[in-house]
Amino acid sequence: MGQLNDRVAIVTGGARGIGRHYALGLAAEGAGVAVGDTADSTATVDEIVKQHGPKSCIGIELDVSEEASVQAFVARVIKAFGRIDILVNNAALCAVLHPIPTMDLEVDVWDRVMAVNARGPFLMTKHVVPHMKERGYGKIINISTGMTQRGVPGMLHYVASKGAVLSMTRCLSREMGQYGIRVNTLAPGLTLSDTVLAMQPEFVETVRIPNRKARAIQRDELPEDLVGTLIFLASAASDFITGQTIFVDGGSV
Ligand SMILES: NC(=O)c1ccc[n+]([C@@H]2O[C@H](COP(=O)([O-])OP(=O)(O)OC[C@H]3O[C@@H](n4cnc5c(N)ncnc54)[C@H](O)[C@@H]3O)[C@@H](O)[C@H]2O)c1
């Protein structure tokens, strides 16, 4: 028996990187999974369908920063699965971002990061909540980062956007409790996702050792380290927990 049998989960940004691991983990616990991404999600969907059957997963193109795209995505998920129980707000501009001094940070880059990383989770929540409310139950898991607690030079746009995510969790949990919707944040530390390794090799090499040393458990963090906490926050085991942030970073924060 999976912990999420008969549940339906959305994973934004689930085509690759850490999101792919969330999608695989949710499907392994029995949830039907809808992957939404600007990137092609065929490989993730095929992997899940191969393991769990043709009805276990769908992939739909999604730009979380565009309300029309979010609305169309949610409508297609409802058409395919008939319900939504779990929303993982994972899509973000993360691996593509290079550290940049604040004095050189262009307004359009700031705006784009905010549009995807902060407006995205807001829009997803706005359009998914009515379906959760209908059933009187739901789990929203917002993905932030430990960087919000420490601050990191050159990452003002990213850290500010993820601070917004953390605050949205607190605010939404107060508003959504009456509908049985739980809202929590999962905040990873530096995680060696395939995308971060491929797109930021120099950055990773610079920060990898200091990050390890800052942890109580002094090793690299991998996407697999995050899946157990995600499943916990998605499952009935955490039904009396809302408005919280769990730092999964080997004891760094
Ligand atoms: N890797 C890390 O060190 C780390 C640490 C802390 C938090 N995080 C967070 O974890 C999540 C996943 O990180 P990752 O390492 O896999 O990074 P990533 O950049 O590879 O993943 C983001 C995913 O979102 C998708 N995406 C980007 N813009 C989108 C949009 N407008 N609409 C829909 N999808 C979009 C990307 O295509 C990608 O699949 C992000 O929210 C990130 O901020 C990552």
Ligand 1 centre to CA of 1 (Å) is 30
Q: Which residues pair with 11 in a beta bridge?
A: 35, 88
Q: If pLDDT is split at 50, 70 and 90, which confidence band does 214 have? A: very high
In a domain, 87, yes or no: yes
Reduced to 3 states (helix: H, G, I; strand: E, B; else coil), residue 16 is coil
Per DSSP, helices labelled H in the chain are: 17-28, 42-52, 67-81, 107-114, 120-135, 147-150, 156-176, 194-199, 201-213, 224-234
Distance (Å) from CA 4 to ligand 1 centroid = 24
The answer to whether position 2 is within a domain reads no
Distance from the alpha carbon of residue 178 to the mean position of ligand 1, in angstroms: 30
Is 45 a domain residue? yes
Flag whether 116 is in a domain: yes
Geometric angle at alpha carbon 80, from 223 and 126, rounded to 5°: 70
Q: How far is CA 240 from the centre of its chain?
A: 21
Average pLDDT over residues 8-36: 98
Which residues are catalytically annotated?
158
Mutation probe of ligand 1 site: the residue of 22, 88, 94, 114 with most atoms within 8 A of C-beta: 94
Which structure tokens are listed for 122? 């807001």
Residue pLDDT, tens place only, 134-187:
999 999 999 999 999 999 999 999 999 999 999 999 999 999 999 999 999 999
Give the Cα-Cα-Cα angle 47, 93, 174 (nearest 5 degrees): 90
User: How far is CA 160 from each of CA 106, 153, 241, rounded to the nearest angstrom?
Assistant: 15, 12, 25
Q: What is the CB-side half-sphere exposure of residue 247 using CA atoms within 13 A?
A: 15
Whether residue 101 is predicted with pLDDT greater than 90 in this model: the reply is yes
Assign 3-class secondary structure to 133-166.
HHHCCEEEEEECCCHHHHCCCCCHHHHHHHHHHH
- Tell me whether residue 3 is in a domain: no
Nearest residue by C-alpha to atom 37 in ligand 1:
39
Across all residues in the chain, what is the average pLDDT? 97
- Per-residue pLDDT averaged across 219-247, rounded? 98
Asked whether residue 206 is assigned to any structural domain, the reply reads yes
Report if residue 253 sits inside a domain.
no
For residue 144, give the ligand 1 atom closest to its CA.
Answer: 7
Q: Residue 188 — pLDDT band, cuts 50, 70, 90?
A: very high
Name residue 58's beta-bridge partners.
34
Residue 178: its pLDDT value, please?
98
Q: Which amino acid is at 200?
A: Q
Cα of 97 to ligand 1 centre, how many Å? 10
Which pTM does this prediction carry?
Answer: 0.98
- Split into its structural domains, the chain has a count of 1
As a residue count, the chain comes to 253
- What confidence score (pLDDT) does residue 1 get? 72
Rounded percentage of the chain residues whose pLDDT exceeds 70? 100
Other CB atoms within 10 A of residue 153 CB: 10
- Alpha-carbon torsion 84, 89, 92, 95, what sign? negative
Distances (CA, A) of 234 to 11, 97, 117, 181: 12, 28, 21, 11
Does a structural domain hold residue 185? Answer: yes
| Ligand 1 pocket, residues with Cβ under 6 angstroms | 12-13, 15-19, 37-39, 62-65, 90-96, 116, 143, 145, 188, 190-191, 193, 195-196
- Judged by DSSP in three states, 92 sits in coil
What atom of ligand 1 comes closest to residue 147's alpha carbon?
6
In this prediction, residues 80-107 reach a mean pLDDT of 97
Nearest to 231 by CA among 57, 25, 21, 9: 25
* Atom in ligand 1 nearest the alpha carbon of residue 89: 41
Domain that holds residue 135: 8-246
Q: Residue 233: which CATH number?
A: 3.40.50.720
